[in-house]
Amino acid sequence: MSKRTIVTMPGDGIGKAVLDETLRVLEAAGFDAEYVEGDIGWEFWKSEGNPLPQRTIDLLEKHKIALFGAITSKPKDEAFEELAPELKDKGLVYSSPIVGLRQHFNLEICARPCKTYKGNPLNFIRRGQGNEIEEPEIDVVIFRQNTEGLYGGVEWSNPEDKVYETFMSHPKFKKNFGHVPKEEISISTRIFSKERTYNILKAAFDYARKYGYKSVTLAEKPNVIRETSGMMYKMALQMQKNDYPEIELWNTNIDAQMMWLTKNPENYGVIVAGNMFGDIVSDGFAGLIGGLGFACSAQWSLDGVAVFEPTHGSAPKYADYETSIVNPIAMIESACMMLDFIEEKEISDKIRKAVAEVIAEGKVRTYDMMKMRGTADVVKKGAASTKEMADAIIAKL
Ligand code: NAI
Ligand code: MG
């Protein structure tokens, strides 16, 4: 069989450091692939006026699978300021390349696992009945609709007349906002389509079945957001009844879910939600298993284009340290999700086992695991660098 080709997109800031170390881990684990690098991020915005050049899209079109580090995004004015002088009069407007990728390839399914590693000093703990300390073992995977809803970009401030009139034809808009001057109104919509709602629900149930989770929890708010959350809930009920009778469907409201996740996080398995609530609930769970240094994610389209990335951003304040100090585990875990996706489960199991051993042993810890502030001298103070953490994992392999 010919070697698989993986597109690597380091992006900005710490993206490159964590991706480089992850590639070393993949190699040490025996994953044999060719890598082609895709240009993405701030550098390409500044020099070409496009943070997601067409050549990168073409690469992903061809090879389908990508590992992505992180990108930097800056507000509109700053983005314009940093544009190369010869591009300044071209009317270019910055937009996030990661959102661009999601839209271009319809990467509608986003999965974010949050699993406790024994011995991680950042694990969530609580007190039990006898006042003893309990450390619940969390094994949750959040399925987040990745392209619609509140992040769908259908928004207005001071909407044009025909939009405003359409809204005014809704009795509740008229009653609650009819007295507000049009110029003072901002509207962001939350649009769900049946097809994509079905797809994210199905992805969640399929995953629960494949990996033996006993429940799928819908974390929305159908009692208040009746049309979108309501539709999703109805579809989930139907789907469970018809196709997944062996899996329980739980329905929680997103606000209550954020409370429950610190009371009994071990009770949840697969969680499914729309775009924004999925984003929120996945950050919530990530906080219980170590935060951004551990939060990995995958996003894919139903026709097989998939991008694997840590949840964290480019952490620009750490990007220029001579020795990189950030935790590579979120990126390494994201690469494990890639391996699962391309049916290389043996290799991903091996890597996860090595990561688990390093964490359990507790000798090698990055600054975040030592609850230090991320200053440039943390390595001198005993924290492992990005590379040292990867070395420790490789040694276990
Ligand atoms: P961030 O995730 O880059 O960093 C926030 C803080 O989290 C860091 O200062 C650091 O203390 C900690 N942190 C992040 N990654 C870590 C790691 N691997 N190990 C240990 N600690 C880690 O988020 P921030 O500061 O809000 O955004 C910085 C830039 O990243 C912005 O330009 C933002 O737009 C972009 N961003 C990009 C994302 C992406 O590429 N998918 C996601 C989030 C933010
Ligand atoms: Mg987020």
Token reading at 129: 């009945």
Ramachandran quadrant class, 158 (left: phi over 0; alpha: psi -120 to 50; beta: rest): left
Rounded Cα distance between 351 and 329, Å, is 10
CB 184 within 8 A of CB 219: no
CB of 21 sitting under 6 A from ligand 1 = no
pTM of the shown model: 0.95
pLDDT averaged over 10-residue windows placed end to end, the chain, 397 residues: 89 97 98 97 96 98 98 91 95 92 96 98 96 97 97 93 97 97 97 98 98 97 97 98 98 98 96 98 97 98 97 95 97 98 97 98 98 96 98 98
- Ligand found nearest the CA of 299: 1
Contact 358, 392 (CB under 8 A): yes
Cα 217 to Cα 142: distance, rounded to the nearest angstrom: 9
Can you tell me the distance from the alpha carbon of 361 to that of 349, in angstroms, rounded to the nearest whole number? 18
Terminal Cα-to-Cα distance of the chain (whole angstroms):
25
- CB of 150 sitting under 6 A from ligand 1: no
Rounded Cα distance between 142 and 319, Å, is 29
- What CA dihedral angle connects 71, 67, 151 and 312, to 10 degrees? -50
Q: Measure the CA–CA gap between 339 and 100, rounded to whole angstroms.
A: 24
**What is the CB-side half-sphere exposure of residue 43 using CA atoms within 13 A?**
12
Q: Residue 1 has what pLDDT?
A: 57
Ligand nearest the Cα atom of residue 309: 1
The protein residue with its alpha carbon nearest to ligand 1, atom 28, reads 315
One-letter amino acid for residue 284 of the chain: G
Minimum-distance ligand to the CA of 276? 2
Three-state secondary structure of the chain: CCCEEEEEEEECCHHHHHHHHHHHHHHHCCCCEEEEECCCCHHHHHHHCCCCCHHHHHHHHHHCEEEEEECCCCCHHHHHHHCCHHHCCCCCCCCCHHHHHHHHHCCCEEEEEEECCCCCCCCCCEECCCCCEECCCCEEEEEEECCCECCCCCEEECCCHHHHHHHHCCHHHHHHHCCCCHHHCEEECCECCHHHHHHHHHHHHHHHHHHCCCEEEEEECCCCCCCHHHHHHHHHHHHHHHHCCCCEEEEEEHHHHHHHHHHCHHHCCEEEECHHHHHHHHHHHHHHCCHHHCCEEEEECCCCCEEEEECCCCCHHHHCCCCCCCCCHHHHHHHHHHHHHCCCHHHHHHHHHHHHHHHHHCCCCEHHHHCCCCCCCCCCCCCECHHHHHHHHHHHC
User: HEC profile for 262-288?
Assistant: HHCHHHCCEEEECHHHHHHHHHHHHHH
Domains 1-107+299-397 and 124-153+190-288 share a fold: yes
CA nearest ligand 1 atom 30, residue = 313
Question: At the topology level of CATH, where does 124-153+190-288 sit?
Answer: Isopropylmalate Dehydrogenase (3.40.718)
Report pLDDT for 384.
Answer: 98
Q: Is 100 in the pocket of ligand 1 (CB under 6 A)?
A: no
The CA–CA distances, whole Å, from 151 to 73, 124, 138, 155, 360 equal 16, 30, 28, 9, 38
d(CA 202, CA 244): 10
- Name the nearest CA neighbour of 51 among 105, 106, 92, 7: 92
Q: How far apart are CA 6 and CA 338, in angstroms?
A: 10
Q: What is the reported pLDDT for 76?
A: 84
The per-residue pLDDT for 241 is: 98
Q: Is the CB of 279 within 6 Å of ligand 1?
A: no
Q: Whose CA is nearest to atom 43 of ligand 1?
A: 313
Residue 312 CB less than 6 A away from ligand 1: yes
- Which of 112, 312, 373 is the pocket-test mutation for ligand 1 (most atoms within 8 Å of CB)? 312
Q: Whose CA is nearest to atom 4 of ligand 1?
A: 315
Ligand 2 centroid – CA 246 distance (Å)? 32
- Give 298 Cα–ligand 1 centroid separation in angstroms: 17
* Candidate CATH numbers 1.10.150.530, 3.40.190.10, 3.30.160.110, 3.40.718.10; the one for domain 1-107+299-397: 3.40.718.10
| Contact call for residues 192 and 149 (beta carbons, < 8 A) | yes
Pocket perturbation via mutation, ligand 1, pick of 20, 95, 314 by most ligand atoms within 8 A of CB: 314
Instruction: Enumerate the domain spans of the chain.
Output: 1-107+299-397, 124-153+190-288, 155-188
Ligand nearest to the CA of 285: 2
Ligand index nearest the alpha carbon of residue 286: 2
Q: Is the CB of 316 under 6 A from ligand 1?
A: yes
- Residues 10 and 72: their CA atoms lie apart, in Å, by 11
Mutate which of 292, 321, 367 for ligand 1 pocket (most atoms within 8 A of beta carbon): 292
Rounded distance between C-alpha atoms, residue 183 and residue 160, angstroms: 10
Residue 203 in contact with ligand 1 by CB distance below 6 A: no
